[in-house]
Structure 1
Amino acid sequence: MNRRLPSLLLAAFAGIYLWQALAIPLDPWSASESINARTLPITYAVLLLLVALGLGIRPAPSSETGSIHSALGWRRLASHAVVIVAFGLFIPVAGLWVSLAGLLLACLLIAGERRPLVLVLAPLGTALLAWFLLVVALGVYIDPGRWFS
């Protein structure tokens, strides 16, 4: 039972998320369309339910040799969670693009990447490409943050 608890919690979260997604109000003109404001949240909820189901029905591991590595996995997971929360808090201050580059850099460091070229080019390249696509190509205004205002 202890092994199935995470998948059960994930399924419960997905069920609540699906219930909330189905309650999203629609405008009269978009209610009859196949793609509307509910489409993406419902898709996410269904996919999350499928992942939870897959995790719940997988066979039990043959041995418990991974206990040393599981502590490292939880530490990495907690580190990623802290970095993601910091990313969300950092967006109003530094802007989306600087925060995104910082998020990617921190996640690469947590994942164990140590090559300097990758640590510099991957976050900066991703942030610059996203900036180009959203701001330049699509013309979407993204607040630059308090540092750059």
Structure 2
Amino acid sequence: MHIRRALIVDTESVYELIDMYAVQGQLLHRTRQSIYEHLQCFYVAVDDVKRIMGVASLHILDRDLAEIRSLVVLPGMALKGIGRALVDALVKEATILGIPRVIALTYQDGFFEKCGFVKINKETLSQKIWKDCLHCSKYNNCDEIAMQIMV
């Protein structure tokens, strides 16, 4: 398995993998159009036969803040290091870009803690709240856990 930036030919597989978890309420839905428009933010984990095993994106919110979004792994492939490899690649990318802080809003706080993230108060994320959260269907009832790592 290796991690690489997503390509346009990956779009349908990325969409289907994210949608599989979105319909279960485990993450927010992404449209195909949104994936096309933000393709440069996506990374994929691929196996030896070029099958996409996992996906995640790094979204820059401000000069000092980026967010890991849409982190998913194929069902049945948990605990194989795919999610961790994606997170490590995105944190490395944030470091290369000079972005000192990476966040994730998640239901998988234990996983992110193993990746070096710590829990923080969502209300401290004004860049995220004003840019994205106000338009989210979960705004008044958000149950995700805010996590961050300093890079």
| Alignment TM class, shorter chain as reference | under 0.3
Higher helix share: 1
TM-score, normalised to structure 1's length?
0.27
Higher strand share: 2
